[in-house]
C-alpha cells in the first residue's frame, strides 16, 4: 500500500518537473531568433517598432502594428481594411495569445508582410515578442 503511494507520488513529481521544464512558446522562439539575430532583444525597441509607420508597396496609406491592434495591445483592435474586430494581443489579457508557436510564426509572417511590405528580421521578431511578452 505504502509502496504504491510512494510510487504514485514519485510519478507525479517526475511528470510535474517535465511540464515545468518545457519552455513557453515565446521563450522557444526568442531562443531561435536569438541564434539568427545575434544581438540582444529589447522590449523598448519592440514597442517602437509596434508604433512605427511603414509604407508597404501596394498600401495606399502608411501602416503600423498599432493601426489594427491599437497602440495598447491589451485593447481590442480592428482591422483597418476589413473592419473585423481583433482580440487583444497582450497575453496578460488574452491567455490564448502567444501560446502556440505555429500561430505566432503564421501571424508574424502575415502581419510583417502586410505592414512592413516584407518579412520581419529575426531581430525585429525578437523585439516584438519581447515587447508583447511584457504586457
Beta strands in the chain (DSSP E): 77-78, 85-86
- The pLDDT value recorded for residue 81 is 87
The pLDDT of residue 61: 79
Give one word for 120, left, alpha or beta, with left for phi > 0 and alpha for psi -120 to 50.
Answer: beta
List the chain pLDDT tens, one digit each, 135 residues: 545 444 444 444 444 444 556 889 999 999 999 999 988 999 999 999 999 999 866 667 789 999 999 999 999 999 988 999 999 999 999 999 999 999 999 999 999 998 998 999 999 999 999 999 999
Q: pTM (2 decimals)?
A: 0.81
pLDDT of residue 55: 86
Q: How far is CA 130 from CA 36, 37, 52, 124, in A?
A: 15, 14, 16, 10
Grid look-up 495569445 returns 97
Quote the pLDDT of residue 3.
53
Is-contact 41 129, C-beta < 8 A? yes
pLDDT at residue number 13: 46
DSSP structural state of residue 23: P
Amino acid at each position: 500500500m505504502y509502496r504504491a503511494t510512494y510510487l504514485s507520488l514519485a510519478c507525479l513529481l517526475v511528470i510535474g518537473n517535465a511540464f515545468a521544464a518545457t519552455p513557453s512558446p515565446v521563450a522557444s522562439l526568442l531562443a531561435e531568433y536569438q541564434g539568427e539575430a545575434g544581438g540582444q532583444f529589447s522590449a523598448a525597441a519592440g514597442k517602437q517598432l509596434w508604433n512605427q509607420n511603414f509604407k508597404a508597396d501596394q498600401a495606399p496609406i502608411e501602416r503600423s502594428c498599432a493601426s489594427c491592434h491599437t497602440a495598447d495591445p491589451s485593447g481590442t483592435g480592428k482591422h483597418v481594411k476589413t473592419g473585423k474586430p481583433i482580440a487583444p494581443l497582450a497575453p496578460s489579457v488574452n491567455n490564448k495569445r502567444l501560446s502556440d508557436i505555429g500561430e505566432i510564426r503564421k501571424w508574424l509572417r502575415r502581419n510583417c508582410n502586410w505592414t512592413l511590405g516584407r518579412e520581419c528580421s529575426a531581430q525585429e521578431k525578437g523585439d516584438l515578442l519581447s515587447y508583447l511578452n511584457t504586457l
